[in-house]
Every structure is written in structure tokens, then in C-alpha cells.
């Protein structure tokens, strides 16, 4: 109750005009029943009355913290790893589980088939996309919410301190794969909706949902579903705004609203020297080894300072203007804390704040990810791998089109391969998604900023993000509407990494943030 009081007081301080009304709501709320019920009038007609609802919702969210953790535990326990076909059934189970939850809050839902993907020549069925609709009141704004239910792979033996698919609470943090990317935020929307119901209030907006289970593997089939099916069917006709919660604050204390993402161009460089693995004692010295070729090729891609070696790759990068340069100086970002949180000895660019931000947001970067077919497990295995696949990606930036980047990479790799002169077989394939930026001066962003100030009592930073959510630009094009990223998690959540977590505070305050965002957007003109 003390924390609730403190928060309520902070909330009141944000808007002193309605303080008295809020206090009366809060007082009644302590006996835990819905008060200030105004379901017969829409918030748009009576915004001041509607402002009384949020304190009740915040209290409701605090009261239900344990059940929110419980639901996240259930979601994390489903290992919906999209990159490995052996977990495909779990992906389907995850989508169906979420469908059940959306139905429970009254949404009409559909599982849309998106066909097949080809893996090593085999056709593998893609998990369905969960599409939902909640509310159909023409007087209300409609928000389309996107999220993903798949996760990156995780094994305890990768170096996790606890089982990755068991949500574990420790020191105010909820550890588990998908806790922050993206199951926690997806559930956050569900809990925000539930909180409106819980205090007996009508949702102030209509909602449309697109939840997929292939985001971490290139969102296969999703663009076609959105552009060739849902759009012609009129799914986006009444959508006014699009919101995605699938990224993180820049640091650990200051909230952000995000208006840009880098794209991704992901490559599989395959080299084959034999039709099977070979005993290195028997065959070593007699064959041109695939791994030797691959290491040579991978070493041509980027230099030790992170400069990409692919010819022409920087040509289309937008030049830095003086105005843009200034933006980086005002961003609140502690490079030392960032360095410390990942345990690095020294950051690139001498740790210069502006340079670090620019290289995360507006310049491309190339990363080497791994080698399939390599003897990566512990122990002194002595084979010559017959076939290896080197994996690397380039985070691409506005103005860089995936087709153009892919062509530059293919040309460069083919040239280097020809110079190398190996008799082995080399093939390279790619999978790409575009970068995205949005207008952060739009009223939609101002509404999200007001919601953020209510919860965190500080002005959010307008940030960009180095990661990629390929469908963002598709949603922007399909809807023709303003798209906004509203992160729930903190900058040190370690998405994709060992010991991924979400802070209890970010999860719970994030639910309130989503509820406040729905409320603020309901007040925008249509």
C-alpha cells in the first residue's frame, strides 16, 4: 500500500488540476472495488472524467503483480524457438496459448496460415500468425499492436545461471528466455486490457493484434499476409495508430520512445569439401579443408575496428547533418555503465558517447555469428567438417536497400572466393529486412510521452535502436499510419544473450504504461 500511495502522489503531482478527484478515487480504491465507473460515456467525450480511471488501473496492476508473473512463467516455459525446426510444434503451441488468452479478454481471433519455409531443400510448415480484433466502436481510435511470441535459442550449457525456459525471480529481476524479448511486453498488452476490465471500465480504444512466431527468423510469410491478404480484406482500414513493444531503453533508468530501427541482411556462407566429416588423422593433409576456406572468407568481411570491408557498402549511407549531430549530444546515455554492464574492457570509438550512439543507430555494422557444422561442443573432437556454414549479418540503415546490400555482398564474396582459388563448393544465401524511421513529432509520440511521464515522472528520450524488427516498415506501409515503438524493458536486459531478464519494475510499470498509452491515444483526434 505504501508504494501505491507514493506512486499515486507522484501521479497527482503530474496534473494538479484533477488531484482532488483522483484522491477520492484512490481512497475508495483501497477497499478494492471498481469506482468512478463511466462506461456509458467515452473518454473522448469526457477526457477529464476518464483521467480518474488511471489511478484505479495502476492500483489494480499493483494488486495483480503475482498473477502477471505467473502468466509470464507459463509463457516462458514454452520453448518457442523459431530458428530450429525441432521446436516448431512449440511455436504453434505458443501461438495457440496466446490465442486462448486473447479470447479470454473478449477478442475475436484467427490463426492465419502463412505457408511453408524451405530448410535444406525441405518444405517446413510455418507457425500460424495470430490475428485479433477487440472492439469495433467507430467513435474510438483503433490501435494495431504487433508483437512476437518466438524466442532465440537458449541452453543452460550456453552459460545461463538458471534453466532458460523456467522463469526465475531474483533480486527484482525475472530471468528467462523471452522475458523481455518479447513475451513480457506481449503479455503486458494483455494485462493492460485486463486491468481496464478489472476496474470495470470499457477499453477507451479499439485494438487489432498481429502476433507472429517467426520474428527471430526473418518473419517469413508475414509481409505477404499483411500486404496481400489482411490489407485487401480491410484489416488496416480503420487502424489509426500502430504500436510495437519489442525493444529496450537505452540505459537502465530512463524510459525511451523509439522512432527508428536498423534493418538486417543475414547471410549463410556454405563451403563443402567432402560429403561427410573426415578423421583428421586419416584425411588431414590430403584435402582442401572447408573450415580453412570459411575462416579465410569470414576474415575478409570486417576489420578489427569494425569497418566493413565490402566494397561500396557505405556509399548509400545518409550523410550526417549538423542538426542530426546535435540530437546525439542531448541523449542521456552512460557509456561507462554500458561498457561495465557487458563486461567489456574497452568500447569501440574510444567510448565516445555520440560515436557509440551513431554506430548503433545510423551506421551499418557487420557481425560474425557462428559456424554450423563446427565441432563447437566441449572436448577434443578430431574431425575435418565436410560442410560448414558461416553466419554473419549486416545491420543496415535508412537509404540502404536490402537488394542493393545483398548484391554488394555477393559480388564481394564471389570476388574474394575467386582470388582464394579453392576447389571447394561455395554458396551464399541471404535473408533481409529494411530499416525504418518515423516522425517523432507526431501527436502519437506526444501521447506516448505523456503516458511515459505519468508512469516514470520524467521526460522520455526519443531514441533509435540498433536492432531490427523487419515487419515495422511493412506495418507502416500497410496501414499508412504513424508507427511507434514503446519499449518495456531496460537496456541491460540481455535479450538474445545468456541470463535474459526483465526487471519486475519494468514489467509492472510497463503494464501501467501500456494502459496509460491506450488512454492517451484515446484522446487523440481520429
Ligand X SMILES: NCC(=O)N[C@@H](Cc1c[nH]cn1)C(=O)O
Q: Which of 121, 279, 141, 275 is nearest to 207 (CA)?
A: 141
User: Does 465 participate in binding Zn ion (rule CB under 5 A)?
Assistant: no
Return the range that interacts with ligand X (CB under 6 A); candidates 130-138, 305-313, 361-369, 464-472. Answer: 464-472
Q: Cβ atoms within 10 A of the Cβ of 363, count?
A: 18
Give the span between the Cα atoms of 474 and 244, in whole angstroms.
13
Which of 196, 266, 507, 517 is in the footprint of ligand X by CB under 6 A? 266
Please tell me what DSSP assigns to residue 318.
P
Give burial (CB, 10 Å; 0-12/13-18/19+) of 467. middle
**CA 1 to centroid of chain Cα atoms:** 33
Q: Is residue 466 within 8 Å of 258, Cβ to Cβ? A: no
Residue 180 beta carbon to Zn ion: minimum distance, rounded to whole angstroms: 8
User: Does 469 participate in binding ligand X (rule CB under 6 A)?
Assistant: yes
CA dihedral of 378, 381, 383, 389, whole degrees rounded to 10 = 0
For ligand X, the closer of residues 57 and 356 by Cβ is 356
Note if 150 is an active site residue. Answer: yes
Q: Establish whether 442 is an annotated binding residue.
A: no
Q: Cβ atoms within 10 A of the Cβ of 16, count?
A: 9
Residue 230 beta carbon to Zn ion: minimum distance, rounded to whole angstroms: 21
For ligand X, the closer of residues 246 and 509 by Cβ is 246
User: Does 189 participate in binding ligand X (rule CB under 6 A)?
Assistant: no
Return the range that interacts with ligand X (CB under 6 A); candidates 11-19, 59-67, 407-415, 467-475. Answer: 467-475
User: Does 468 participate in binding ligand X (rule CB under 6 A)?
Assistant: yes
Of 150, 270, 493, 509, the active-site residue reads 150
List the x/- string, 159-188, binding to ligand X by CB under 6 A: ----------------------xx------
Which of 327, 334, 467, 497 is in the footprint of ligand X by CB under 6 A? 467
Residue 113 beta carbon to Zn ion: minimum distance, rounded to whole angstroms: 23
C-alpha cell at 149: 511470441
For ligand X, the closer of residues 248 and 412 by Cβ is 248
Give the span between the Cα atoms of 111 and 123, in whole angstroms.
20
Which of 51, 90, 181, 406 is in the footprint of Zn ion by CB under 5 A? 181
Return the range that interacts with ligand X (CB under 6 A); candidates 33-41, 125-133, 211-219, 250-258. Answer: 211-219
Note if 277 is an active site residue. Answer: no
Residue 264 beta carbon to ligand X: minimum distance, rounded to whole angstroms: 5
Which of 201, 240, 246, 509 is in the footprint of ligand X by CB under 6 A? 246
Q: Which of 508, 453, 373 is nearest to 68 (CA)?
A: 508
User: Does 264 participate in binding ligand X (rule CB under 6 A)?
Assistant: yes
Please tell me what DSSP assigns to residue 488.
-
Q: Which of 32, 87, 91 is nearest to 63 (CA)?
A: 32
Give the span between the Cα atoms of 330 and 313, in whole angstroms.
29
Residue 279 beta carbon to ligand X: minimum distance, rounded to whole angstroms: 35
- Position closest to ligand X via CB: 467
How many residues bind Zn ion (CB under 5 A)? The answer is: 3
Please tell me what DSSP assigns to residue 398.
T
Q: Is residue 348 within 8 Å of 356, Cβ to Cβ? A: yes
Q: Establish whether 246 is an annotated binding residue.
A: yes
Of 215, 289, 465, 509, the active-site residue reads 215
Q: Is residue 497 within 8 Å of 257, Cβ to Cβ? A: no
Q: Cβ atoms within 10 A of the Cβ of 485, count?
A: 26
List the x/- string, 244-283, binding to Zn ion by CB under 5 A: --x-------------------------------------
CA dihedral of 325, 327, 332, 337, whole degrees rounded to 10 = -30
Which of 182, 240, 293, 500 is in the footprint of Zn ion by CB under 5 A? 182
Q: Is residue 82 within 8 Å of 150, Cβ to Cβ? A: yes
Give the span between the Cα atoms of 526 and 514, in whole angstroms.
19
User: Does 216 participate in binding ligand X (rule CB under 6 A)?
Assistant: yes
Indicate the SS3 state at residue 181. Answer: coil
For Zn ion, the closer of residues 194 and 468 by Cβ is 468
Q: What is the DSSP string of 77-144?
A: TS--BTTSGGGHHHHHHHHHHHHHHHHHTT-EEEEE---EEEETTEEEEPPPEEEEEE---TTS-EEE
Residue 470 beta carbon to ligand X: minimum distance, rounded to whole angstroms: 6
Query: Footprint of Zn ion on this chain (CB under 5 A)?
Result: 181-182, 246
Annotated binding site for substrate: which residue ranges? 246, 279, 382, 395, 468, 496
Annotated binding site: which residue ranges? 148, 181, 216, 246, 279, 382, 395, 468, 496
Query: Footprint of ligand X on this chain (CB under 6 A)?
Result: 181-182, 215-216, 218, 246-247, 264, 266, 467-469, 495
**Which residues are the active-site residues?**
150, 215
Annotated binding site for Mn(2+): which residue ranges? 148, 181, 216, 246, 496
Amino acid at each position: 500500500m505504501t508504494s501505491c500511495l507514493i506512486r499515486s502522489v507522484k501521479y497527482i503531482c503530474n496534473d494538479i488540476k484533477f488531484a482532488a478527484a483522483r484522491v477520492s478515487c484512490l481512497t475508495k480504491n483501497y477497499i478494492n472495488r471498481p469506482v468512478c465507473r463511466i462506461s456509458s460515456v467515452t473518454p473522448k467525450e469526457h477526457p477529464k472524467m476518464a483521467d480518474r480511471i488511471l489511478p484505479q488501473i495502476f492500483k489494480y496492476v499493483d494488486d495483480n503483480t503475482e498473477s502477471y508473473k505467473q502468466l509470464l512463467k507459463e509463457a516462458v516455459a514454452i520453448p518457442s524457438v523459431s530458428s530450429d525446426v525441432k521446436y516448431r510444434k512449440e511455436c504453434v503451441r505458443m501461438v495457440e496459448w496466446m490465442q486462448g488468452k486473447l479470447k479470454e479478454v473478449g477478442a475475436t481471433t484467427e490463426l492465419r496460415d502463412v505457408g511453408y519455409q524451405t530448410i535444406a531443400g525441405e518444405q517446413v510448415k510455418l507457425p500460424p500468425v495470430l490475428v485479433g480484433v477487440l472492439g469495433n466502436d467507430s467513435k474510438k481510435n483503433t490501435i494495431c499492436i504487433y508483437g512476437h511470441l518466438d524466442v532465440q535459442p537458449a541452453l543452460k550449457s550456453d552459460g545461463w545461471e538458471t534453466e532458460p525456459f523456467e522463469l526465475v525471480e531474483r533480486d527484482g529481476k525475472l530471468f528467462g528466455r523471452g522475458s523481455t524479448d518479447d513475451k513480457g511486453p506481449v503479455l503486458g498488452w494483455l494485462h493492460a486490457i485486463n486491468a481496464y476490465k478489472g476496474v470495470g471500465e470499457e477499453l477507451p480504444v479499439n485494438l487489432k493484434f498481429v502476433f507472429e512466431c517467426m520474428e527471430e527468423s526473418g518473419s517469413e510469410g508475414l509481409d505477404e499476409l499483411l500486404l496481400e491478404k489482411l490489407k485487401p480484406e480491410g484489416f488496416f482500414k480503420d487502424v489509426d495508430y500502430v504500436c510495437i513493444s519489442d525493444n529496450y531503453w537505452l540505459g537502465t533508468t530512463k524510459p525511451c520512445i523509439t522512432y527508428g530501427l536498423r534493418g538486417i541482411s543475414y547471410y549463410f556462407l556454405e563451403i563443402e569439401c567432402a560429403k561427410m566429416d573426415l578423421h583428421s588423422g586419416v584425411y588431414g593433409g590430403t584435402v582442401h579443408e572447408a573450415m580453412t576456406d570459411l575462416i579465410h572468407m569470414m576474415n575478409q568481411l570486417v576489420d578489427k575496428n569494425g569497418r566493413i570491408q565490402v566494397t561500396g557498402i557505405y556509399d548509400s549511407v545518409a550523410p550526417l547533418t549538423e542538426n542530426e549531430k546535435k540530437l546525439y549530444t542531448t541523449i542521456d546515455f552512460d557509456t561507462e555503465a554500458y561498457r561495465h554492464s557487458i563486461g567489456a574492457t574497452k568500447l569501440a570509438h574510444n567510448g565516445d558517447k555520440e560515436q557509440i550512439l551513431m554506430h548503433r543507430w545510423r551506421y551499418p555494422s557487420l557481425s560474425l555469428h557462428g559456424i554450423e557444422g563446427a565441432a563447437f561442443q566441449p572436448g577434443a573432437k578430431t574431425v575435418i567438417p565436410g560442410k560448414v556454414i558461416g553466419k554473419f549479418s549486416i545491420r543496415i540503415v535508412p537509404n540502404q536497400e536490402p537488394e542493393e546490400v545483398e548484391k554488394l555482398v555477393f559480388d564481394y564474396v564471389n570476388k574474394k572466393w575467386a582470388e582464394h582459388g579453392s576447389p571447394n563448393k561455395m554458396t551464399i544465401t541471404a535473408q533481409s529486412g529494411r530499416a525504418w524511421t518515423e516522425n517523432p513529432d507526431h501527436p502519437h509520440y506526444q501521447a506516448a510521452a505523456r503516458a511515459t511521464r505519468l508512469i516514470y515522472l520524467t521526460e522520455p528520450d526519443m531514441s533509435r535502436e540498433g536492432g531490427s524488427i523487419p515487419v515495422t516498415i511493412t506495418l507502416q506501409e500497410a496501414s499508412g499510419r504513424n508507427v511507434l515503438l514503446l519499449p518495456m524493458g531496460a537496456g541491460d536486459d540481455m535479450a538474445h544473450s545468456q541470463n535474459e531478464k526483465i526487471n519486475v519494475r519494468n514489467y509492472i510499470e510497463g503494464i501501467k504504461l501500456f494502459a496509460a498509452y491506450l488512454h492517451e491515444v484515446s484522446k487523440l483526434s481520429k
